[in-house]
Structure 1
Amino acid sequence: MSVLFGIVRPAGRMERPGDENTRCFRKSREIEAESDSTWKGEGRKRAEMRKILSLFPCLLLLGFPPQGPGRADSRPLVRVKGVQPGATLLLEGGLRIRLLGLEFPSPEWAKKALEPLVGREFRWQEEEVDVDRPKLRRGLLFRKKAEDSVNAELLEQGLAWFRLRSGRDKAFPSLRMALFRARGAKKGIWNKVPMARGNPPFFRGGVLGLYYKESRLDYHKQLRRIRDIGADWALLLLTVFVPKVDSSRIVKDPNRTVQDARLKETIRYAKGLGLKVALMPIVLIKESDNDEDWRGTLRPKDPIRFWLDYDKQLCHYADVARESGVELLFIGSELCSLEEKYPKAWPRIIANLRGRYGGWLSYSVNWDHYDVPRFWGLLDCVGLTAYFELTENKKASLQELVEGWKKVRKELEGVSKALERPVFLTELGYPSQEGANTAPWNYLLAKDKPDPEEQARCFEAFAKVMKDAKFLQGAFIFDFFEEGGSEDTTYALWGKRAWWVVRDLFRDWAKQR
């Protein structure tokens, strides 16, 4: 395997120098092209033929106009009059514009990038009207005889982060290529950004949900327990919210979303313990009308608004991750209903995160939905939750659980072979309840029947079957937030036999790798 700007691809044929940026771009374009044709039930050849035929009326009406350098440029000439707050350019005539695909880290960076444009003439190509500010236009500026846009020039010089608000922009390829060149050369703002190199490592980790409602409370004890069990990774899980399952706005709850200051302090403390850090923002429903609704069934009424909000939240946490030295960032978790329905949104989201963050990227797919996402090739590693139903017996023996995990192993190995990549488990956990193996995802299964021994047996079965699995890239144990203890019915391991089972597994993994 080899990695190009954080995108893993299988080793294969010899490739010419300079092909790397093209291949990075081509992968996402292949996904978008497939979505344009096959996603609607059409064969690719049929779709291509229809596109070709659709051009004939246009060609006849236009009389086959001359192509190439001799063709007149219809884009209007504009002169930049000044730079206004918010990285906005004021043109002569009063039009206010922003450069498509660019986001500046500070007013100082915006001034440095944009002031040299004042007083000069450019060709203006409008691409979109700002959704939130209808009088503001976004587009591309071109020097009079240049093919590349000023937008691409500024990105390649490392003067701005990359962020597109729409996946339909024709400028996507050229801007992203400019981004890759800046990242690779560590120009400008990329000079001090920590960059992931090589394949992601093997994960021995613990999941810590940042659930405290009081910001004064810290997570030091939980992080020390993650370290003491033998983990070398801490996965910090934080929550943002949609009011209803069909809501289009994503908001932070002041009582349930961890504050940035506490998040950054938690990351610093974890790294001070010698732990690498993964960050996973997840979307929860604040008020559900029934037991069937969860983040895997989201159906926003206004998809455009939803994806703008989702992109905004992820870009914010990508900034936190970059500034805090987080090694792995998740682009989402278990968004089953959105993975298939919006295939064009995901490549744009991933590109926007690559445009401001240099660490590894992954996604946590639901344990029964891993074959759906079409964007695995754009990510660095394949993650899935592991709430597999092992048996139908609430009193299952260790041997029965082993047989259950053998079936799961065969299934996961098939996934790994199909993707030609290893997989890792983002959440591996069992509540300490009777029958937990029958529905590990159900923490309300038997809250009045604590059974820490069943929890321990489930982990023992996993260790026996999966300890030497070559296709497995590790696991994050869920969850280290709760206190634990013999009467506890949560996923916590502390004070239970499962703690020692997992510690022994992590020690064995550490010796093997």
Structure 2
Amino acid sequence: MSSVLVILGLGLWAIFPLQADLITVAEKWKGVCWVGSRSPLLGPELEALKATGADALSQTPFGWQSEKNTPEISWDTHNQNKWWGESSDGIKATFDSSARHGIMNMLKPHLWVRGSWPGEIEMKNEEDWQLWFKNYEGFILDYARMAEAHQIPMLCVGTELEMTSEREADWRKVIAEVRKVYSGKLIYAANFTEFEHVKFWDALDYIGIQAYFPLSTKNNPDLSDLKSGWNKNLPKIEKVVRKYQMPVMFTEIGYCNTVDAAKEPWVWPNERRETELSEEMQALCYEAFFETAWKKSWMAGVFFWKWYPEGKHRDPDFTPQGKMAEQVMQKYFLAD
């Protein structure tokens, strides 16, 4: 690791006992999910992010799976025809530039599944399962080698692969192979419906959660309702923390700027086009997170979905940029 990374890493993974059954983390990652740009960064993009108090970002290259029930996976880490920010050169340049601003990185490869999402990937027979894991191992090992070569301090070995994570032995083999080529910290990003059932957390360094927990059943709930929603979900997380004695990162969390943002936070903006917009609701959802989950001793970091380098804006959308939610994020990030 370079000297800048050693400095950035000091204290981040120091974990101390808290009472008899929980842990506390010395320092939290304050992050966003960085959107890979079409063209090289100009410079001010990272300065704008740094001004919010953020000190971390995740980078997301993609592999592709044409069908959720077939084992073939395609990827190309060196394909320069893709968006610059998702290419090997773009990932390295973004990492180097962000490190100069004191911003840490997590490399978080995703699978894009045609007509579905990664949580529905499931093979029909054992032969296909073995082939899928062979292909996935090749995919994630390529990015593990990239992360090692670029000295990226954290790698996410999988995201929302809910039907596959039931296969504990196969995942332990993948993680063991990754450790042979990558020396940084490892995390898996489990869906909020999945994290309680994952049995290989002890093979990793963090418990990762895609934290799109529903917080209310109604439009425009108030802050008290939203905090109550969090308080119903936090004990489930703490049960896993007690079992594995490991810290938690919210590898993704986000809310659209719509009145129904807290009901089903995972719903894509395209499905909310007829929904009434509300910056206030999005901002309240951010505040509820910071007033509850963020304060937990076991919380090691958060990555808000999502952040456009060029400040892209559409309505509705998840990004807090230029909205009341950005002010809330800045308030809490700068306070710590």
TM-score range normalised by the length of the shorter chain: 0.7 to 0.9
Cα distance in 1, alignment partners of residues 177 and 27 from structure 2? 24
1:368 pairs with 2:184: no
Aligned with residue 437 of structure 1, among 252, 262, 265: 262
Number of aligned residue pairs: 306
Cα distance in 1, alignment partners of residues 248 and 213 from structure 2? 15
SS at match of 1:344: helix
Q: Give the aligned partner of residue 69 of structure 2.
A: 246
1:308 pairs with 2:134: yes
Aligned with residue 324 of structure 1, among 122, 140, 150: 150
1:499 pairs with 2:326: yes
Instruction: Kindly state the Cα deviation for residue 201 of structure 1 after the two structures are TM-superposed.
Output: 4.9
The 1:335–1:219 alpha-carbon spacing in structure 2 relative to 1, beyond 3 Å, is farther
* Unmatched tracts of structure 1, length 5 or more: 1-6, 12-198
* Unmatched tracts of structure 2, length 5 or more: 1-12, 18-24
Instruction: Kindly state the Cα deviation for residue 458 of structure 1 after the two structures are TM-superposed.
Output: 0.5
Q: Give the aligned partner of residue 299 of structure 2.
A: 472
Q: Give the aligned partner of residue 10 of structure 2.
A: none
The 1:346–1:422 alpha-carbon spacing in structure 2 relative to 1, beyond 3 Å, is same
Cα distance in 1, alignment partners of residues 46 and 74 from structure 2? 27
The 1:223–1:252 alpha-carbon spacing in structure 2 relative to 1, beyond 3 Å, is farther
Deviation sequence 1:330-357 (CA, Å, 0-9, x none): 11011000011x2221111111111011
SS at match of 1:491: coil
Deviation sequence 1:360-410 (CA, Å, 0-9, x none): 011000011111111111101111011010011112122211221222223
Cα distance in 1, alignment partners of residues 329 and 99 from structure 2? 22
Cα distance in 2, alignment partners of residues 376 and 467 from structure 1? 21
Deviation sequence 1:178-203 (CA, Å, 0-9, x none): xxxxxxxxxxxxxxxxxxxxx89521
Q: Give the aligned partner of residue 33 of structure 2.
A: 207
The 1:467–1:332 alpha-carbon spacing in structure 2 relative to 1, beyond 3 Å, is closer
Q: Give the aligned partner of residue 90 of structure 2.
A: 262
Cα distance in 1, alignment partners of residues 14 and 199 from structure 2? 15
Cα distance in 1, alignment partners of residues 256 and 238 from structure 2? 26
The 1:385–1:201 alpha-carbon spacing in structure 2 relative to 1, beyond 3 Å, is same
Instruction: Kindly state the Cα deviation for residue 8 of structure 1 after the two structures are TM-superposed.
Output: 10
Give the 5 Å matches for 1:111-126: none
Give the 5 Å matches for 1:164-243: 201-210=27-36, 212=37, 214=38, 216-218=39-41, 220=43, 222-243=45-66
Instruction: Kindly state the Cα deviation for residue 229 of structure 1 after the two structures are TM-superposed.
Output: 1.2
Cα-Cα RMSD = 2.5
1:333 pairs with 2:159: yes
Q: Is the 8 A contact 1:416 1:422 kept in 2?
A: yes
Q: Give the aligned partner of residue 55 of structure 1.
A: none
Q: Is the 8 A contact 1:8 1:379 kept in 2?
A: no
Cα distance in 2, alignment partners of residues 299 and 389 from structure 1? 25
Q: Give the aligned partner of residue 420 of structure 1.
A: 245
Instruction: Kindly state the Cα deviation for residue 426 of structure 1 after the two structures are TM-superposed.
Output: 0.8
SS at match of 2:272: coil
Give the 5 Å matches for 1:15-164: none
Instruction: Kindly state the Cα deviation for residue 217 of structure 1 after the two structures are TM-superposed.
Output: 4.2
Deviation sequence 1:266-319 (CA, Å, 0-9, x none): 21111122111110001111x32xxxx311011235222222221111111111
Cα distance in 1, alignment partners of residues 329 and 106 from structure 2? 20
Q: Give the aligned partner of residue 299 of structure 1.
A: 122
Q: TM-score normalised to the size of structure 2? A: 0.84
Instruction: Kindly state the Cα deviation for residue 247 of structure 1 after the two structures are TM-superposed.
Output: 2.2
Q: Give the aligned partner of residue 22 of structure 2.
A: none
Aligned with residue 230 of structure 2, among 402, 405, 420: 405
Cα distance in 2, alignment partners of residues 395 and 468 from structure 1? 24
Instruction: Kindly state the Cα deviation for residue 10 of structure 1 after the two structures are TM-superposed.
Output: 9.3
* Aligned partner letter, 1:235: S
Q: Give the aligned partner of residue 9 of structure 2.
A: none
Q: TM-score normalised to the size of structure 1? A: 0.56
The 1:315–1:463 alpha-carbon spacing in structure 2 relative to 1, beyond 3 Å, is same
Instruction: Kindly state the Cα deviation for residue 505 of structure 1 after the two structures are TM-superposed.
Output: 1.1
Cα distance in 2, alignment partners of residues 463 and 453 from structure 1? 15
SS at match of 1:248: coil
1:446 pairs with 2:272: yes
Q: Is the 8 A contact 1:479 1:492 kept in 2?
A: yes
Q: Give the aligned partner of residue 164 of structure 1.
A: none
Larger Rg: 1
